[in-house]
Amino acid sequence: MPETMQADYVIIGAGSAGCAMAYRLSEAGKSVIVIEHGGSDAGPFINMPGALSYPMNMRRYDWGLKSEPEPHLNNRRMIVPRGKVIGGSSSINGMIYVRGHALDFDHWRDQGAAGWGYADVLPYYKRLENWHGGPHGGDPSWRGADGPLHVSRGKRDNPLVRAFVEAGAQAGYQLTDDYNGEKQEGFGPYDATIHNGRRWSAASAYLRPALKRPNCTLIRALAHRVVIEEGRATGVEVTHKGRTRTINARAEVIVAASAINSPKILMLSGIGPAAHLAEHGIDVAADRPGVGQNLQDHLELYIQQAATQPVSLFRYWSLMGKAYVGARWLLTGTGPGASNQFESAGFIRSKAGVQYPDIQYHFLPIAVRYDGSVAAEGHGFQAHVGPMRSKSRGEVTLGGARPEDQPKIRFNYMSHPEDWEDFRTCIRLTREIFGQDAFAPFRGKEISPGEDVQSDADLDAFIREEVESAYHPCGTCRIGAPDDPGAVVDPECRVIGVDGLRVADSSIFPRITNGNLNAPSIMTGEKAADHILGRHLPPENAQPWVHPEWDVRQR
């Protein structure tokens, strides 16, 4: 790294949005420097989809963050995996690809994010996708065919995977052959960011091609703060190989460091709630009370059932079984290791009067936890289930004024009374689905919560002890109208009150979207790049499917 390092655009974070912006800005002829603290994404644990439980638990690839004690969850400190690696969290996530429901984005627009309605974001989803839907993939006119991000489907050859969708239909729910197309509501196959049996992260899709251009550079360094001179962002102060350096931006600095680290970097730069910055001795460059506020996430439970036939993935859970899976994948790129094993999806509404799905299912043909511990019963299956639109809100605040100080993360999970009602509903609806005839050949006893856990009080105790994050933090630098005192960025992703500075990642989401957040994070990077370049794709007025009797029927 030379003494003076500069580019037109300096991006903090080589994650989902940062990689997309590096690709689009360099494609347009702009010079770009991407700052990333993490290292290489090489190695089988990241690249083998079936090994997904490993990288998010490895300090080499993860920031190692934890929440503050959560008062409504027995004061548990929840782990908050965030990718500290090329590709960011797209390199350690579950690889599930969910755009979000069309009405999520219309809600963003109606809350002040002008130009971010579904009609506006759909063209960007199409631009980013290279969709391999297969013969039963729904209507390709809703999808993209030649974008950088490969999106595919698993083989779905496990009988439990097919039984889950069949059981959903037997319970009276819709079926959907493409929840990312016209119709999200229902049961059907999952899309995944997997290509030729390997994880297809934002680094694979965007950053590596961008780095082949002479105008895009990656610098491994820890970003301290944005340098602001006379109200304008001019560069980024970093630690690089033990030295404090400044990387200068001729045009703009773009923060894309995650819903946890983006507000932290803004606050260390003097942008945030003035009183909080003063507590840490930080001079105020812009008093933005919304920085770090509006933190949201998805929580989920595992509803686990024993299997009476040896059809689950448990047969690979021995040392020899794992060796077989790993060797087959390394040699041929095929087998169980080539899938994330989340191959069947469900998006349903919790009750009549809910306009679009507010519960998501991830089905898994084994009874296992994210930490890799398997149920003692052996063969089994599970559904991860949780509400999509909790009203609980948390915050990210500074844990200290030094860049190496971890932020304080308070999700305030389950602080709204409706959360408890929603989760009890999730458990009872899942039991009903598992009770359908499609599961009759396989259904053993209920492992978790257990058949004796029935009353509201017992269910609440189970929720309090067992609920886990789905690792979808967002909302801490939310987008809004320029005159909205709680907004951090305007609809062009420009930080309100500072020139030459933008934020573009999941932190700008006004409200969490339906499903996993990787796809909308990449879309945000794609769309922000066009705002930076002063262009936009024309909107598409496609009409998504909404249940015609949503106001009077739950299914």
Which amino acids are annotated catalytic?
472
3-class SS at 438? helix
Q: Which residues contact 206 (CB under 8 A, 6 or more apart)?
A: 19, 20, 22, 23, 148, 149
Which residues lie across from 262 on neighbouring strands?
Answer: none
Which residues lie across from 50 on neighbouring strands?
Answer: none
Residue in the structure block whose two tokens are 């021995």:
318
Residue 238 annotated as binding? no
Backbone torsions φ then ψ of 501, nearest 5 degrees: -140, 130
Q: Strand 501-503 vs strand 243-255: parallel, antiparallel, or unpaired?
A: parallel
Question: Residue 208: how many CB atoms within 10 A of its CB?
Answer: 18
Contact between residue 236 and residue 12 where contact means Cβ atoms under 8 Å apart: yes
Long-range contacts of 65-68 (CB under 8 A, 24+ apart): 65/260, 65/406, 65/407, 65/409, 66/409, 67/409, 67/410, 67/411, 68/408, 68/409, 68/410
Residue in the structure block whose two tokens are 């934002």:
202
CA distance 491 to 76: 36
3-class SS at 191? coil
Cis peptide before 449 (omega within 30 of 0): yes
Q: Which residues contact 407 (CB under 8 A, 6 or more apart)?
A: 65, 260, 261, 263, 264, 292, 396, 397, 398, 399
CA distance 397 to 43: 34
Contact between residue 317 and residue 157 where contact means Cβ atoms under 8 Å apart: no
Q: If we measure between CA atoms, which residue out of 444, 543, 430 comes closest to residue 173?
A: 430
Q: Strand 344-348 vs strand 186-189: parallel, antiparallel, or unpaired?
A: antiparallel
Binding positions are 85
Binding positions for FAD are 85
